[in-house]
Amino acid sequence: MIVPFLWMLSTSLKDQQQLFAWPPNWWPQPFVWSNYTEVMTKVKFGLYGLNTLTITVAVTIGRLILCSMAGYGFARMKFPGKNFLFLLTLATMMISSQITIIPNFIIMRYLGLVDTHLGVILPQLADGFSIFLMRQFFLTFPYELEDAAKLDGCNPLMFYFRILIPNSKAILATLAVMTFQGVWNDFLWPLVMLTSPEKRTLSVGLSYLVGQYTTRWDLQMAGSVLTVLPILILFFLLQKYFVQSIKMTGLKG
């Protein structure tokens, strides 16, 4: 898995002549650090990075809140039609995200949110897998714990905020990393929704380096390296919780 990243890093430091040299060399001679400054100028990296960060953080926080609440409802509450609604939620996992682009676009156009960051954010605030993940985790809490909390005067909302959420840091961190990575790297939905150049995300902005007759692969790779850095930083910061959640779900090894 590390080989593609190392090749991307190597290519980002090559000049045009080294890109197509045969046999290919892993160690650039010389290192062309100017590729990074050039791509940050051509792609408006600061602006597009801020746009991407805004969308990604909003979706991540919103999904953690909404999907954890929905998962709590499916796991701990009793209400008519719960199993049917959960079945519908699972069914959405079998629908490709590309299929929902046109319906989502029509809805956003009706709401007047085309070419806005809010229009990119709203359709991504909840998904079936995240609800399923939170529901399965909340089922692992013993019902005796909930009964004891009720005896102490906890209502369902207090039990959710005071007991479940503080003890769900591992699964929430895992969901945060997965959501952040997916939204940060998303290309198709922002490409469809955002038409103004100043509102583009990094993935969309980097795609404009692909020309009709030539493509600056050195700049593409430099931009890709810079784009992947926030994901790596987030993963290393939350790695402890990520591994802990794998252990708790019995999937490690």
**Residue 191, domain CATH:** 1.10.3720.10
Q: Which residue has the higher pLDDT, 187 or 22?
A: 187
Cα separation, 56 vs 64, in Å, equals 12
Q: Has residue 72 got a pLDDT over 80?
A: yes
Residue 223's contacts (CB-CB under 8 Å, 6 or more residues apart) are 39, 43, 45, 202, 205, 206, 209
Residue 127 domain-assigned (yes or no):
yes
Residue range 140-157: mean pLDDT, rounded: 86
- Report yes or no on 77 lying in a domain: yes
| CA neighbor of 249 nearest in space, from 182, 168, 161, 177 | 168
Going 236 to 238 to 240 to 242, the CA torsion angle's sign is negative
Q: In this prediction, what percent of the chain has a pLDDT beyond 70?
A: 93
Burial class (CB in 10 A: 0-12, 13-18, 19+), 192: middle
| Tally of domains in the chain | 1
What separation in angstroms does the CA of 144 have from each of 68, 70, 74, 134, 196? 21, 21, 18, 19, 55
- Is 241 within the bounds of a domain? yes
Confidence of residue 20 (pLDDT cuts 50, 70, 90): confident
For residue range 165-185, what is the model confidence (pLDDT) as tens digits? 998 888 998 899 999 999 999
Quote the CA–CA distance of 176 and 159 in Å, as a whole number. Answer: 22
Amino acid (one-letter) located at 126? A
Contacts of 175 by beta carbon, 8 Å cutoff, 6+ apart: 63, 64, 67, 130, 133, 134
Q: Report if residue 7 sits inside a domain.
A: no
Model pTM score: 0.85
Taking residues 38-46, report their average pLDDT: 83
Residue 33 CB neighbours (<10 A):
11
Q: Do 132 and 93 meet the contact criterion of CB atoms below 8 Å apart? A: yes
154 lies in a domain?
yes
Structural domain contains residue 236: yes
Domain assignment present for residue 25? The answer is no
Does residue 28 form part of some domain? no
The domain in which residue 198 lies consists of 45-248
